[in-house]
């Protein structure tokens, strides 16, 4: 298993380009199942999770061809089962459920199961499909869905769910009649998916707001669409600049998608200049503690909570970080404390008292964003940090150690 070694203390300087968004690429690639036409997607990131969903589509019968960051998919469907051995490596595989039921009238998808950050149920996905006329059975750890034809209806999501909104939006594009999603997720990745679907001939209005209206059509065509920039990767590099007191230009991002983080970094004392699709972050010599509450978009993203906590461990003062989206997203806390951080967990709050310095240590990645937060802590810790289980970070970051090393970090990957 690979490890990442970091010698802390270097201030990051220079420019870094952001890759396509993992959480937009996954639903958009899944959406190619809805059409017999040829789909061409640009700016697809080279990530383990993207490799997984490509494998999943091939297992269903699709022809998939990658040329650099462009992906071509022709989804002839030979079978409608997404097997456990693929789904267990990536929960977002549930995103093939809606398209398969919509196009084929049936699907058998392994239940994704929980992960380190929470139980991650999909009950809202299933309840919505049932409301649209699908028969849903749970058997042997699989969801079995069948329908004689999905019908449009109004669906109110009990909680804002990103992949739930995406799954049902995809199911609705081929349903008979109109579907209205209320309390829909407003994340930019949902909007990116709607743009790709409308490019195929779907009729979706309101994506990016909490009410999305989908007028069913009988079939979809070919499409060429681009994946938006990854706001979580961009935010991770912005925090890397702040935590090392460096001066970094993050290029090819969408500053509008980063407003919650930008506001918090400014409040913490970093200076941020926005110039088109570039954001320049220069961390002063010290940052001050700020309080964070994670919320659905446009609130502070849960996917940047761990990274912001790393910054707060070396800030001046005490910060209260509340995680309201997932029930167990503090797996990085114990590892940070082994590096000398002073953090007390109280329910869904972490009270972080800034310390003068962190000490490098062997630490273990537990989930994707926790891994990124430990890399950030390693960048500023005294001595060597050795991060194991690096496969977690490769799920969501394209060669992160190469991008950081080009910014001056003393970081390298060792293959074990
Ligand atoms: C998406 O996960 C992202 N993944 C996550 O990113 C992200 O953290 C999350 O949205 C929140 O922004 C992808 O887009 C592939 P949710 P998702 O459904 O859709 C509860 C990363 O690091 N819920 O919005 O699975 C759920 O338990 C990953 O890139 C139900 O109760 O998240 C959670 O508490 C991690 N029932 C809350 O809603 C359901 O049927 C929000 O979850 C669905 C969700």
Model pLDDT for residues 236-293, shown as the tens digit of each residue:
999 999 999 999 999 999 999 999 999 999 999 999 999 999 999 998 778 999 999 9
Question: Residue 119: what pLDDT?
Answer: 78
| 216 CB near ligand 1 (under 6 Å) | no
Model pLDDT for residues 183-223, shown as the tens digit of each residue:
999 999 999 999 999 999 999 999 999 999 999 999 999 99
Same domain membership, residue 210 and residue 150? yes
Question: What is the position in ligand 1's atom list of the atom closest to the CA of 117?
Answer: 35
Residues known to be catalytic:
115
Please report which confidence band the pLDDT of residue 176 belongs to, taking 50, 70 and 90 as the band edges.
very high
Same domain membership, residue 280 and residue 219? no
Question: What is the position in ligand 1's atom list of the atom closest to the CA of 26?
Answer: 15
Same domain membership, residue 65 and residue 141? yes
- Full residue range of the structural domain in which residue 289 is found: 2-19+229-415
Tokens standing for residue 303: 């996917």
Among candidates 9, 24, 416, 39, which has minimal Cα distance to 201?
A: 39
Same domain membership, residue 207 and residue 241? no
Q: Where are the beta strands (DSSP E) in 302-348?
A: 318-322, 342-346
> Does the pLDDT value for residue 116 go beyond 90?
no
- Which single residue is written with the structure tokens 């079995």? 144
> Does the pLDDT value for residue 168 go beyond 90?
yes
Report the alpha-carbon angle 261-185-83, nearest 5.
110
Read off the pTM: 0.97
| 159 CB near ligand 1 (under 6 Å) | yes
Cα of 283 vs centre of ligand 1, distance in Å, is 31
Q: Where is the domain boundary, 226, 243, 277?
A: 226
Same domain membership, residue 204 and residue 184? yes
Please report which confidence band the pLDDT of residue 170 belongs to, taking 50, 70 and 90 as the band edges.
very high
Please give the backbone phi and psi of residue 342, each rounded to the nearest 5 degrees, phi first: -115, 95
Same domain membership, residue 377 and residue 250? yes
| 52 CB near ligand 1 (under 6 Å) | no
Same domain membership, residue 163 and residue 93? yes
Same domain membership, residue 338 and residue 266? yes
Please give the backbone phi and psi of residue 410, each rounded to the nearest 5 degrees, phi first: -95, 85
Cα of 338 vs centre of ligand 1, distance in Å, is 28
Q: Whose CA is nearest to atom 24 of ligand 1?
A: 161
Among candidates 224, 195, 229, 227, which has minimal Cα distance to 212?
A: 195
Answer left, alpha or beta for residue 298, where phi above 0 means left and psi between -120 and 50 means alpha: alpha
The C-alpha R_g of the chain, in whole angstroms, comes to 21
Same domain membership, residue 262 and residue 131? no
Q: How many structural domains comprise the chain?
A: 2
Model pLDDT for residues 337-390, shown as the tens digit of each residue:
999 999 999 999 999 999 999 999 999 988 999 999 999 999 999 999 999 999
Question: Residue 115: what pLDDT?
Answer: 76
* Contact of 156 with 183, CB cutoff 8 Å: yes
Query: What angle do the packed helices 97-104 and 123-131 form, to 10 degrees?
Result: 20
> Does the pLDDT value for residue 89 go beyond 90?
no
> Does the pLDDT value for residue 113 go beyond 80?
no
Q: Where is the domain boundary, 207, 226, 245?
A: 226
Same domain membership, residue 193 and residue 65? yes
Question: Residue 354: what pLDDT?
Answer: 98
Please give the backbone phi and psi of residue 358, each rounded to the nearest 5 degrees, phi first: -100, 155
Q: Where is the domain boundary, 181, 198, 226?
A: 226
| 163 CB near ligand 1 (under 6 Å) | yes
Question: What is the position in ligand 1's atom list of the atom closest to the CA of 120?
Answer: 27
| 329 CB near ligand 1 (under 6 Å) | no
Report the alpha-carbon angle 349-370-314, nearest 5.
65
Same domain membership, residue 79 and residue 189? yes
Same domain membership, residue 208 and residue 267? no
Torsion, CA 351, CA 354, CA 357, CA 362, rounded to 10:
10
H helices within 41-131, ranges in order?
48-60, 84-87, 97-104, 123-131
CATH code where residue 321 lies: 3.65.10.10
């Amino acid at each position: 298993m690979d490890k990442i070694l970091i010698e802390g203390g270097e201030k990051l300087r220079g420019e870094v380009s952001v890759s396509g968004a993992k959480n937009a690429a996954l639903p958009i690639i899944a959406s190619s199942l809805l059409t017999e036409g040829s789909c061409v997607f640009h700016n697809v990131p080279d990530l383990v999770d993207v490799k997984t969903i490509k494998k999943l589509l091939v297992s269903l019968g699709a022809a998939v061809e990658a040329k650099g960051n462009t992906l071509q998919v022709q989804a002839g469907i030979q079978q409608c089962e997404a097997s456990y051995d693929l789904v267990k490596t990536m929960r977002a595989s549930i995103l093939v459920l809606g398209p398969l039921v919509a196009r084929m009238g049936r699907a058998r998808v392994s239940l994704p199961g929980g992960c380190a950050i929470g139980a991650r149920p999909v009950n809202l996905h299933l309840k919505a499909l049932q409301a649209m006329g699908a028969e849903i059975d749970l058997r042997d750890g699989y969801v079995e869905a069948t329908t004689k034809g999905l019908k449009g209806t109004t669906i109110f999501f009990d909680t804002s769910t990103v992949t739930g909104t995406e799954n049902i939006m995809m199911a609705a594009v081929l349903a008979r009649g109109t579907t209205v999603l209320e309390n829909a997720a407003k994340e930019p990745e949902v909007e990116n998916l709607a743009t790709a679907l409308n490019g195929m001939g779907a009729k979706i209005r309101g994506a990016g707001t909490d009410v999305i209206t989908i007028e069913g059509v009988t079939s979809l065509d070919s499409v060429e669409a681009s994946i938006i920039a990854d706001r979580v990767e961009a935010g991770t590099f912005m925090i890397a600049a702040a935590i090392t007191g460096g001066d970094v230009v993050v290029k090819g991002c969408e500053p509008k998608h980063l407003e919650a983080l930008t506001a918090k970094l400014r409040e913490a004392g970093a200076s941020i200049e926005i110039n088109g699709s570039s954001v320049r972050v220069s961390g002063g010599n010290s940052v001050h503690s700020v309080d964070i509450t994670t919320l659905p978009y446009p609130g502070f993203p849960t996917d940047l909570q761990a990274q912001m906590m790393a910054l707060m461990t070396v800030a001046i003062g005490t910060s209260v970080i509340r995680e309201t989206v997932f029930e167990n997203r503090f797996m990085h806390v114990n590892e940070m404390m082994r590096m000398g951080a002073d953090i007390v967990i109280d329910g869904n709050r972490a009270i972080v008292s800034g310390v003068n310095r962190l000490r490098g240590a062997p630490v273990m990645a537990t989930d994707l964003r926790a891994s990124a937060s430990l890399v950030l802590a390693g960048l500023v810790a005294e001595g060597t940090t050795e991060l194991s289980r690096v496969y977690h970070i490769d799920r969501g970051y394209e060669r992160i150690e190469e991008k950081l090393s080009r910014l001056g970090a003393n970081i390298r990957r060792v293959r074990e």
